[in-house]
Amino acid sequence: MTILRDVAGMLFGMFMADRALSGAVLCLVGLVGIAIKAAGLHPLYGGAALIVGCVGIIAIVTMNEARRRRG
């Protein structure tokens, strides 16, 4: 049972190690999906939004983590 728990914990950690990052990525993908499929945004603009969003998320989560750890 310990092994199963470890595997489950590892799988969760693989994708959700930083909840802020995971939440932001899921929100971004959801928003871009809605914008393309429901609001009729041109897919290429959607692609650009996806790239810019991911870059922004990386920048914000690393800065927040650095600030938190350094006090």
Partner 1 sequence: MHAIAWSTAGPAIGSAFVASLVEFVEAFTIVLAVATLRGWRPALSGTFAALGVLGLLIAILGPLIGRVPLHLLQFVVGVLLLLFGMGWLRKAILRAAGVLPLHDEMAAFAAETAELTEEARRHKTSMDWIAGLAAFKAVLLEGIEVIFIVLAVGAGRGLLGWAALGALAACIPVLAVGAILRRPLAQVPENTLKFVVGVMLSGFGVFWTGEALGIDWPGGDLVLFALAAIFLATGLVMVGVLRRPQAEAAR
Binding mask 4-23 for partner 1 (x = CB under 8 A): --xx--xx--xxxxx--xx-
Least distance from partner 1 to the Cβ atom of residue 39, Å: 12
- Using a 10 angstrom Cβ sphere, with 0-12 exposed, 13-18 middle and 19 or more buried, the burial of residue 41 is middle
Q: How many CB atoms lie within 10 A of CB 60?
A: 13
Distance CA 69, CA 71 (A): 5
Which member of 38, 39, 69, 71 binds partner 1 (CB under 8 A)? 69
Subset of 49-68 contacting partner 1 (CB under 8 A): 50-51, 54-55, 57-59, 61-63, 65-66
